[in-house]
């Protein structure tokens, strides 16, 4: 299980790097889907199937459909940057990838070395999540949905203006 967890974590970090360094918005959004699916797999490994399914349904499904819809609606035009800028970006990207890989490897090493032998992750109870979401965190949950709605309406208005 630790091997699967580690593989999913590395793939999630690499696909998140693709999101950050992707030149095309659609490719970045698709890399974000891979990141979200890897996170769902990590939740399955730590025996939290409810959170994994929410991750797939809400984030990898609904939110990413909205992102792709807004990207397609805005249809950003791509321009070719000068050659010097491309070389500088590639050099910076290589340095950042090496830096983040070193940080990730160091973090995984420290976490696994700190865990006692035979450590087992505990499953998250669905009832506790539902109670927290519908009582203590109801306002932030609703505000997030309103924020997403405002962002989509703003994207539509910007697209219609042109």
Closest residue by Cα to residue 93 from 12, 4, 10, 19: 19
Q: How many domains does the chain have?
A: 1
Predicted TM-score (pTM) above 0.85: no
What is the per-residue pLDDT for 11? 92
What is the per-residue pLDDT for 77? 64
Range of the domain at 114: 2-124
Q: How far apart are the first and last CA of the chain?
A: 52
What is the per-residue pLDDT for 140? 86
CA–CA separation, 36 and 31 (whole Å):
9
CA–CA separation, 51 and 125 (whole Å):
10
Q: Does 158 map to a domain?
A: no
What is the per-residue pLDDT for 80? 66
CATH number at residue 30: 1.20.120.1200
Residue for token digits 């590639």? 90
Each of the 162 residues of the chain gets a pLDDT tens digit; together they read: 788 888 999 999 999 988 888 878 788 888 888 899 999 899 888 888 888 888 888 887 888 777 777 777 776 565 666 777 778 878 887 888 788 788 878 777 776 777 677 766 566 676 777 788 788 888 988 888 888 888 878 877 877 776
Cβ neighbors of 49 (< 8 A, separation 6 or more) are 43, 123
Q: Does 107 map to a domain?
A: yes
- Count other C-beta atoms under 10 Å from residue 9's C-beta: 19
CB 152 within 8 A of CB 66: yes
């Amino acid at each position: 299980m630790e091997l699967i967890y580690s593989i999913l974590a590395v793939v999630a970090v690499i696909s998140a790097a693709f999101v950050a360094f992707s030149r095309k918005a659609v490719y970045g959004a698709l890399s974000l889907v891979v990141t979200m699916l890897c996170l769902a797999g990590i939740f399955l490994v730590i025996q939290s199937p409810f959170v994994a399914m929410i991750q797939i349904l809400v984030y990898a499904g609904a939110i990413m459909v909205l992102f792709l819809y807004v990207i397609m609606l805005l249809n950003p035009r791509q321009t070719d940057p000068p050659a010097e800028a491309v070389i500088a970006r590639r050099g910076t990207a290589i340095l950042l990838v090496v830096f983040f890989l070193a940080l990730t490897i160091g973090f995984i090493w420290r976490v696994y070395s700190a865990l006692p032998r035979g450590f087992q992750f505990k499953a998250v109870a669905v009832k506790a999540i539902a109670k927290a979401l519908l009582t203590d965190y109801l306002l932030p949950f609703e505000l997030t949905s309103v924020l997403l709605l405002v962002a989509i309406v703003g994207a539509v208005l910007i697209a219609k203006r042109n």
